[in-house]
């Protein structure tokens, strides 16, 4: 029986592993091939001529890919940092306290995940114009908070729902100031949640297209915008190269969080607990 | 060495009209070990948190050595509270937990290490400094929590149910440890408990709090021999209550008269005597003796419990098994109620 069970388990692992590879990796193979191809047309199974042209262009000064890469990293990092600043206290309030209108606040925070971004951003656009925030990096960072904050708040609310604030009282009683209490007691306890929430926020910001396009007005060219430009202009080789760069953070983060996502941490398990 | 004075300390939680703690006044002398005793929800943990500054007072004052500390922040009060579930920081080693208070006081690491190691010896856990709290047993965790509190040499130490999570054999070990350390360091210590036995074995003096009010503040033996009222007597296991009237040092009940030892004012009252203080009389029929019929007899090993009927009153008796060996249910028995064990409660 035992052998049978472990056999079943290993074949199940093999099956899920195969499905993951087919779904996640296979679609990337044409991208990778394209980035090294110099023309690749039907009916040839593989390109006739290989070339590093696309990669050379991608990393050249004229393409603007590197500038766009740094800009995208900067915007995503800033949006993530702001999400953490808002999400930690908001998650604490939702996860730990009962107050009037709590379910309304929850709905408000979840709304951006339900309402299409384009509907929200049209209204915001006119406000941002009057504030002079359109076509600026700051405006793009701010508008990215609409989809990132809900992720951060939800993860943190789950963490705080399982958190015992008595540890903070204990630290105060042992002579720690409120700031030191946060640093030495609260922060280590909620760190797994902050990491997972921040990674989510980073990825969500990283992949924004519509919000960036509308608020940035085409002046703030992040990687998705650039990618879209090349994709629509038919440069499949350059699209392939940029596409591979574009998915890199996603893969890195997937590997980093594999442990957390497997349920060994409360960070993700906490989703349903507020 | 700190004298603690609680002055009409009151707590009314928001949304409630009844005070959880109602004008509690206590004088706790320097270096003493005092128990706040009461059932759960009586306001004793509320009291501790207010002393520690972890909960706002509604009114009243907390005074250390003549100075009100209500305006001081929790970290500046010199009060350390040890919670019932220990609350050891899980991601720190045992040594880091114990040294936490010193680190917050910006003491250099070499001195912290030295004092942590001394403290580990003191609580008899010399080799466990590098462990994680989760690797320790409950008793060890409690000793770490105690060490973490004592290392900062607090003016006042607060313990929340210090013995209640421990097995019977660990309780006495822990009791001795707490008492010895507290006496050696001379720290004024207040602990709360719902267990009268825990209060009696550990404390110099006990404050009984029922329904948010102080009932009696006294040495522990007084709660057995001289309870202030029936609720207090009941809390300490008193079972015999006989109504009647005091008249010139004699208590008259429906089934007999009893000489009182203490000077007692005339008037109606309730006579009480602890079950273990009722003696089995050989039948000489001296003063303060009554003849009762045995309703129930339960042998309990080291003692035998008797339930005896006199008139309309049931008397509970705890006797030495040898003294009542010959008696069976239904038989008459002569009981003596010694004058010095009698106490009259006023309603």
Identify the band that residue A263 occupies on the pLDDT scale cut at 50, 70 and 90.
very low
For residues B235, B236, B237, B243, the Cα torsion angle rounded to the nearest 10 degrees is -80
| Angle B43-B77-B29 from CA coordinates, rounded to 5° | 65
Asked if the C-beta of A175 comes within 8 angstroms of chain B's C-beta atoms, the answer is yes
- Residues in chain A with CB shorter than 8 Å from the CB of B69 are none
Residue that wins the pLDDT comparison between A242 and A17: A242
Closest Cα in chain A, distance from residue B74 (Å): 6
Q: Are residues A43 and A148 in the same domain?
A: no
Q: What is the pLDDT of residue A261?
A: 54
- Residues in chain A with CB shorter than 8 Å from the CB of B100 are 171, 174, 176, 184
Which of A167, A172, A185 is facing B54, going by the closest CB pair?
A172
Cβ-defined contact of A175 to B101 (cutoff 8 Å) = yes
| Angle B139-B142-B147 from CA coordinates, rounded to 5° | 130
Q: Are residues A38 and A60 in the same domain?
A: no
Mean pLDDT of chain A: 85
Q: Are residues A77 and A94 in the same domain?
A: yes
Q: Are residues A39 and A106 in the same domain?
A: no
Asked if the C-beta of A166 comes within 8 angstroms of chain B's C-beta atoms, the answer is yes
Could you read off the pLDDT of A81-137 as tens digits, one per residue? 999 999 999 999 999 888 888 889 888 888 888 888 788 888 899 999 999 998 999
Last residue of a domain, one of A51, A73, A93: A51
Task: Among B54, B86, B142, B155, pick the best mutation site for testing chain A contact (most A Cβ within 10 A).
Answer: B54
Residues of B with CB under 8 A from a CB of A: 49, 52-54, 73-75, 79-81, 83, 85, 87, 89-91, 100-101, 104-105, 148-149, 152
> What's the domain count of chain A?
2
Q: What is the pLDDT of residue B265?
A: 83
What stretch of H or E contains B337?
Answer: none
Q: Are residues A257 and A145 in the same domain?
A: yes
Cβ-defined contact of B104 to A185 (cutoff 8 Å) = no
Which of A175, A184, A188 is facing B75, going by the closest CB pair?
A175
Could you read off the pLDDT of A163-206 as tens digits, one per residue? 999 999 999 999 999 999 999 999 999 998 999 899 989 999 99
Pick the closest to residue A216 from A125, A82, A127 (CA basis). A125
Q: What is the pLDDT of residue A2?
A: 46
Q: Are residues A190 and A119 in the same domain?
A: yes
In this structure, are strands B33-37 and B188-193 parallel, antiparallel, or unpaired?
parallel
Cβ-defined contact of B81 to A177 (cutoff 8 Å) = no
Q: Are residues A16 and A147 in the same domain?
A: no
Query: In the predicted model, is pLDDT for residue A57 greater than 80?
Result: yes
Q: Are residues A205 and A84 in the same domain?
A: yes
- Using CA atoms, how far residue B214 sits from B48, B189, B204, B226, in Å, is 14, 18, 17, 16
Q: What is the pLDDT of residue B42?
A: 81
Q: Which residue of A has its CA nearest to B90?
A: A189
Q: Are residues A206 and A79 in the same domain?
A: yes
Rounded Cα distance between B300 and B307, Å, is 14
Q: Angle between the A166-173 and B44-52 helix axes, to the nearest 10 degrees?
A: 50
Q: What is the pLDDT of residue A186?
A: 94
Cβ-defined contact of B100 to A176 (cutoff 8 Å) = yes
Q: Cβ(B289)–Cβ(B255) under 8 Å?
A: no
Rounded Cα distance between B254 and A85, Å, is 76
Task: Give the fold, CATH level 3, of B238-345.
Answer: OB fold (Dihydrolipoamide Acetyltransferase, E2P) (2.40.50)
Q: What is the pLDDT of residue A231?
A: 86
Domain range for A37: 1-51
Q: What is the pLDDT of residue B284?
A: 62
Here the CATH number for the domain that contains residue A225 is 1.10.3720.10
ipTM rounded to 2 decimals = 0.80
Q: What is the CATH number of domain B4-225?
A: 3.40.50.300
- Residues in chain A with CB shorter than 8 Å from the CB of B74 are 169, 172-173
Q: What is the pLDDT of residue A268?
A: 42
Q: Are residues A108 and A181 in the same domain?
A: yes
Residue A204 has, within 13 A of its CA and on its CB side, a CA count of: 24
Domain ranges for chain B, please list them.
4-225, 238-345
Which of A167, A175, A180 is facing B89, going by the closest CB pair?
A167
Pick the closest to residue A32 from A180, A237, A186, A260 (CA basis). A237
- Residues in chain A with CB shorter than 8 Å from the CB of B101 are 174-175
Cβ-defined contact of A174 to B91 (cutoff 8 Å) = no
Q: Are residues A103 and A218 in the same domain?
A: yes
**pLDDT (tens digit, 0 to 9) for every residue of chain B, 347 residues total?**
789 999 999 999 988 888 888 889 999 999 999 999 998 878 888 899 999 998 999 999 999 999 999 999 998 999 999 998 899 999 899 999 999 999 999 999 999 999 999 999 988 888 888 999 999 988 899 999 999 999 999 999 999 988 888 888 888 888 888 988 888 888 999 999 998 888 888 898 999 998 888 989 999 889 998 898 888 999 888 889 998 888 888 888 888 888 888 878 888 889 999 999 998 887 665 678 888 899 999 998 889 999 999 888 889 999 998 888 888 898 888 888 888 888 988 76
Q: Are residues A95 and A204 in the same domain?
A: yes
Asked if the C-beta of A174 comes within 8 angstroms of chain B's C-beta atoms, the answer is yes
Identify the band that residue A259 occupies on the pLDDT scale cut at 50, 70 and 90.
low
Task: Among B87, B91, B134, pick the best mutation site for testing chain A contact (most A Cβ within 10 A).
Answer: B87
């Amino acid at each position: 029986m035992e052998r049978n069970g472990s056999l079943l388990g290993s074949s199940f692992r093999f099956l899920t592993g195969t499905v993951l590879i087919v779904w996640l990796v296979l679609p990337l193979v044409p991208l990778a091939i394209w980035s090294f191809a110099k023309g690749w047309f039907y009916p040839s199974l593989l390109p006739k001529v290989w070339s590093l042209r696309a990669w050379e262009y991608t990393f050249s000064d004229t393409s603007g890919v590197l500038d766009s890469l740094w800009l995208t990293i900067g915007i995503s990092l800033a949006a993530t940092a702001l999400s953490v600043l808002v999400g930690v206290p908001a998650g604490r309030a939702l996860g730990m306290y009962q107050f009037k209108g709590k379910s309304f606040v929850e709905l408000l925070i979840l709304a951006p995940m339900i309402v299409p971004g384009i509907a929200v951003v049209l209204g915001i656009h006119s406000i941002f114009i009057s504030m002079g925030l359109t076509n600026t990096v700051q405006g793009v960072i701010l508008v990215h908070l609409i989809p990132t904050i809900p992720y951060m708040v939800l993860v943190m609310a789950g963490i705080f729902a399982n958190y015992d604030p008595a540890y903070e009282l204990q630290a105060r009683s042992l002579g720690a100031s409120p700031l030191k209490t946060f640093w030495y007691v609260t922060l280590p306890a909620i760190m797994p949640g902050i990491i997972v929430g921040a990674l989510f926020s980073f990825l969500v910001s990283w992949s924004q297209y519509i919000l960036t396009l509308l608020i940035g007005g085409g002046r703030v060219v992040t990687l998705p915008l650039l990618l879209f430009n090349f994709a629509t202009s038919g440069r499949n080789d350059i699209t392939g190269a940029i596409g591979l760069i574009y998915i890199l953070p996603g893969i890195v983060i997937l590997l980093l969080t594999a442990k957390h996502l497997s349920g060994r941490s409360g960070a993700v398990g906490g989703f349903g607990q507020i | 060495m700190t004298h603690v004075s609680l002055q009409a300390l009151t707590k009314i939680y928001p949304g409630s009209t009844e005070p959880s703690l109602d004008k509690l006044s206590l004088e706790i002398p320097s270096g003493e070990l005092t128990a706040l005793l009461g059932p759960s929800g009586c306001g004793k943990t509320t009291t501790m948190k207010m002393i520690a500054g972890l909960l706002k007072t509604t009114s009243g004052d907390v005074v250390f050595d003549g100075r009100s500390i209500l305006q001081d922040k929790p970290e500046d009060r010199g009060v350390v509270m040890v919670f019932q579930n220990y609350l050891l920081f899980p991601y720190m080693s045992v040594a880091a937990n114990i040294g936490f208070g010193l680190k917050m006081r910006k003491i250099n690491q070499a001195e912290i290490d030295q004092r942590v190691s001394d403290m580990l010896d003191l609580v008899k856990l010399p080799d466990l400094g590098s462990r994680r709290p989760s690797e320790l047993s409950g008793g060890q965790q409690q000793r770490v929590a105690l060490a973490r509190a004592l290392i900062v040499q607090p003016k006042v130490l607060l313990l929340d149910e210090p013995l209640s999570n421990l097995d019977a054999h660990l309780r006495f070990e822990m009791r001795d440890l707490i008492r010895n350390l507290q006496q050696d360091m001379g720290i004024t210590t207040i602990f709360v408990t719902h267990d009268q036995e825990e209060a009696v074995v550990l404390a110099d003096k006990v404050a009984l709090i029922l329904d948010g009010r102080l009932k009696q503040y006294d040495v522990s033996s007084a709660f057995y021999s001289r309870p202030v009222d029936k609720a207090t007597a009941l809390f300490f296991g008193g079972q015999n209550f006989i109504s009647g009237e005091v008249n010139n040092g004699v208590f008259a009940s429906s089934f007999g008269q009893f000489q009182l030892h203490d000077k007692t004012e005339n008037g109606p009252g309730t006579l009480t005597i602890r079950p273990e203080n009722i003696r089995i009389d050989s039948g000489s029929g001296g003063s303060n003796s009554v003849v009762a019929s045995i309703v129930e007899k339960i042998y309990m090993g080291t003692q035998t419990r008797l339930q005896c009927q006199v008139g309309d009153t049931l008397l509970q008796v705890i006797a030495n098994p040898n003294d009542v060996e010959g008696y069976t249910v239904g038989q008459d028995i002569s009981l003596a109620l010694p004058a010095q064990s009698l106490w009259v409660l006023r309603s």
